[in-house]
Structure 1
Amino acid sequence: MATVAFLFLALLGVFGPALSDKHSLYYIYTSLSKNVQLPGIYDFTAMGLLDDREIDYYNSKDQMKIPKQDWMREKMQSDYWDKGTQSRKSKEQWFKVNVDILMQRMRHNHSDLHVLQWRHGCEIDDTNGKITFLSGIDEYSYDGSEFLSFDDENMRWVAPVPAAEPTKRKWDDVAILNQYTKGYLEKECVDWLTKFMEYGQESLRNQSSPEVHVLAKKSSSSPGKLTLTCLATGFYPKDVKLCVRKFRTSLPEHLLTSSGIRPNEDGTYQLRKSVDVEEEDTAGYDCYVNHASLKEPVIKQWDGTCRDSSGSMGLIIGAAVGGLVLLVAVVGLLVFLKKRGIIGEF
């Protein structure tokens, strides 16, 4: 009976699901077709991100790969940075060549600004100390649109636009390239990720608990209804469980509008979910949040009141949007390029 009771409570959302311990390592390269002459924006930049925290950085002005975390500076030897600098310089030249190739293929002129980017990396699960490979990403984008991506499972390139077909055919004809790409994503990237996790374990352990808010205002799209919003903000790491509940039962996700997990300016994250409810239906709603930093889930009950929440909500959301805009300005829409420059031109 105890087991049945536990399962019943779990279905009602009384207990939150166990949160997995996910970690990621990504590298993002960005190349502009011309100098925009804006402070902090360079012709070419490259950065490494461990669990969404910047660990190294390179730009075309300084032309030096540098650590962005104290533990990276302390743990990685000087030859790591020397070799990394040479690698970044090689990629910078590779990008310049291929930006021109794609501009010609797209029939774009040099008077307009065009952007070529590449993101590659991997994600693992480290639950209970067991490392499990979850996914690998190797993606390119041109001017903010997906251009080419690697299908790790089937070991082939995917071209979502006709302009990428020549590159897909060219790269798929080089079997060793696809074998190398799959090997990097599933083995070499995971090795680096676990090594960096070990080196930066104290920093990565610094968890931040979410602040939970529940607010309601008049619906802008449905007369006679209220928009009820649950917001969790200020949490790290970014893996979080947020449910909007009615009488302790989670509402189906397809009824909710979600912001997705967004970065705050201080390196933490926020997530917002909303649902429209009838004005007279104000009883029994709450926000349920579970996070690795919490000893037990946070449950914030809605008191049924409706107020103009645009001011307070705007301040909370603004911090995340500011960080997101900065990320997009520097990284674009995660428009991505290929690893190590071992491949030929597009």
Structure 2
Amino acid sequence: MKVPAVVLLILGSVHLASTDTHSLTMVATFISGETQFPEITMVLLVNDVPVEYYDSDIKKIVSRRHWRANDSIQETDLRDYVVAVLYSGMKTSLNTMMKRSNQTQGAHVYQSFTACDLENDTLSRFFIMSAYDEEEKYQYDALSHIQNTFVPEFVWSKVKSDIRKHIFSSIYQPLCVRTLRRYLQEDKNILLRKGTVLDSSRTGSPLSDPTERPRVRVIQKTEPHSGRTQVSCVATGFYPRRVNMTLLRDDRPVPDRELTGGQVLPNGDGTYQLRRSLSVSEEELRERHRYTCTVSHLSVDNKLDVNWDPVLISAVLIAVLVLAALIITAIVLCRKRRHTGEEDENWMMDRSITVTLINWHHKQ
């Protein structure tokens, strides 16, 4: 589900020099209708590690930094104000979307996702996205101040655009940087992950080198509704999170508009995963294109390439199906002859046919 929000920000003034990319993200979800969930929830994360949480049931910001005892929440007045502004804005946006879609009943979800990145201690990215019922509706690049919305009601006037530009440039951008630096400094043993990446092959023992090499594969499956073939390029188990993935068709990059996915997601062991998928029609399969998944990452000297050839896969599948049919036929004949009381010589002959077919399969 795609997401959006105003970041829940914390004032801080500690400087941290870094050669990596680090992110402060805020995920907020507003739900209308009768559900078992709070009306609004907000989660603040640093490098995908949850650090603070708020929902409309508990009505307060709580720390999830379990590695520090008796942690206190700072700047509560400022952050309570930010929560109130965010709550009001998301509620208004959700009502606008429900009215626009002529939806007055049932559960509906409006989400907001905000992220700012520090690269080499410099703000390299700051953006907001929002979505309604899993469909993206709004984007705002807070560095270039470019707004992209699919909803006319969300388009800003010139005056409102200038005000938003001033607020983000003078308040939210520097505040986001100070907040991220403060967290990285105070909780660097957790958030910078030095010595905490686990090696599953050694039963969870820490790695001396914090980089983890991605495992790359191409997955093929049939889409249940359309009958088309979905080709997915999957990279998993890598650290740090920065990775480049390209899906090639006959050595040429497939346009982004044809692909789905592309978001780097955390695994449960502290590493990351990325998936990009392409929907291929039967006609495209008959054209015998060659697809290649190529991945570049800090942990490898050269890019990793994995090929997918639908012609080869189809040929192997046909061979396997033919082999399976022959084996089943041979077994049925064997059992039939045993039950009709034929001589043991015929039974042994049928067994030899089955063994021969299996040996042929292993040689292919």
Give the structure-1-normalised TM-score.
Answer: 0.57
SS for the counterpart of 1:70 is coil
Please point out which of 30, 35, 38 is paired with 1:37.
Answer: 35
Asked if the contact 1:46–1:57 (Cα under 8 Å) also holds between the matched residues in 2, the reply is yes
1:58 aligns with 2:33: no
State whether structure 2 residue 88 is matched by structure 1 residue 80.
Answer: no
1:176 & 1:286 partners in 2: Cα distance? 47
**1:270 aligns to what?**
274
Letter of the 2:274 counterpart:
Q
Structure 1: which 5+ runs fail to align? 1-19, 221-225, 309-346
Change (3 A) 1:181 1:262: closer
Alpha-carbon deviation of 1:287?
6.1
- Describe the shift of the 1:145–1:286 C-alpha distance in structure 2 as closer, same or farther (beyond 3 A): closer
Q: Corresponding residue for 2:42?
A: 46
Cα distance change of structure 1 residues 278 and 47 upon mapping to structure 2, 3 Å threshold:
closer
> Cα distance 1:213–1:92, how it changes in 2: closer, same or farther (>3 A)?
closer
- CA drift of 1:196 comes to 2.0
Aligned to 2:298: 292
1:282-325 deviations in Å (ceiling 9; x for gaps): 99x986544334577666688977767xxxxxxxxxxxxxxxxx
What are the within-5 Å matches in structure 2 for residues 119-130 of structure 1? 119-124=113-118, 126=119, 130=120
| Structure whose alpha-carbon radius of gyration is higher | 2
Count of residues paired in the alignment: 272
How far did residue 26 of structure 1 move? 1.7
The equivalent residue for 1:7 is none
Deviations for 1:74-117, whole angstroms, at most 9, x for unmatched residues? 6x952417447734663475258626753685375643333333
Q: Secondary structure at the match of 2:74?
A: helix
> Is the Cα–Cα contact under 8 Å of residues 244 and 295 in structure 2 kept in the other structure?
yes
What's the secondary structure of 1:62's corresponding residue? coil
2:234 to 231, 236, 240: 231
Question: Aligned with 2:96: secondary structure?
Answer: helix
- 1:162 and 2:166 matched: no
1:210 paired residue number:
214
Contact 2:234 2:273 in 1 (8 A): no
- Partner residue of 1:28? 27
In structure 2, C-alpha distance between the alignment counterparts of 1:156 and 1:258, rounded to whole Å: 23
**Cα separation, partners in 2 of 1:195 and 1:163, compared to 1, 3 Å:** same
Unaligned runs of 5+ in 2: 1-18, 198-210, 318-364
- Give the AA of the match of 1:212: V
Distance 1:251 1:87, change over 3 A: same
C-alpha deviation, 1:157, in angstroms: 5.1
Which of 119, 128, 135 is 2:125 aligned to?
A: 135
SS of the residue aligned with 1:78?
coil
Cα distance change on mapping 1:94 and 1:217 into 2, 3 Å: closer
Alpha-carbon spacing, 1:133–1:231, altered in 2? closer, same or farther (3 Å): same
Structure 2 Cα separation of the partners of residues 84 and 106 of structure 1? 33
Alignment correspondent of 2:185: 198
SS in 2 for 1:80: coil
The CA deviation at 1:179 is 0.4
Q: Which letter maps to 1:37?
A: T
More divergent stretch after superposition (62-71 vs 151-160): 151-160
Structure 1 residue identity aligned to 2:262: G
Contact 1:65 1:88 in 2 (8 A): no
Between the aligned residues of both structures, percent identity stands at 21
Partner Cα distance (1:208, 1:202) in 2:
18
Whether 1:106 aligns to 2:100 is yes
Query: What is the rounded CA distance, in whole Å, between the counterparts of 1:199 and 1:179 in structure 2?
Result: 30
RMSD after superposition: 4.8
Compute the displacement of 1:254 (Å): 4.1
Q: Secondary structure at the match of 2:84?
A: helix
